[in-house]
Amino acid sequence: MGELAEPFAMALPSFMKHVGILERTGLIRSRKRGRIRTCTLEQKNLAAAERWFAQQRSMWASRYQNLDSLLESLNGEKRDS
């Protein structure tokens, strides 16, 4: 864990907090052997999360493009009347 924390400009306890969040969300797994805790990346979960977030982003982007068109046509109606 100390090795992992080294490149980051934060105290070890803060670093552990961040690692805890990643672990709870299933993005990494950690195992303690004696005094040494080792982290592994959960590639599959990470990829799944990225895919889902990308889908959500597409959904919002698309619905808002629809709204752009609707607003444009509503503004047009107002101008015409």
Partner 1 sequence: MTAELRFDFIVDKEKNSIIVKREFAAGRQLVWDCHTKRELLDRWFAPKPLTTKTKHMEFKQGGYWHYAMITPDGQAFWNRLDYQAINPIDNYAALDGFCDEAGIVNPDMPRARWDVAFTDAKERTLVTTVVLYNSADDVQKAIDMGLKDGLASTLERLDELLLTMGETAEHV
In the complex, which residues of this chain contact partner 1 (CB under 8 A)? 21-22, 24-26, 45, 48-49, 51-72, 74-75
3-state secondary structure string across 57-81: HHHHHHHHHHHHHHHHHHHHHHHHC
In the complex, minimum distance from the CB of residue 60 to partner 1, in angstroms, rounded to a whole number: 5
Q: How far is the CB of 78 from partner 1 (least distance, A)?
A: 8
- CA 14, CA 8: separation in Å to the nearest integer? 10
Taking the complex as a whole, the smallest distance from the CB of residue 36 to partner 1 amounts, in Å, to 25
Specify the residue, 34 or 43, whose C-beta has the smaller distance to partner 1: 43
Q: Decide if 65 contacts 72 (C-beta within 8 A).
A: no
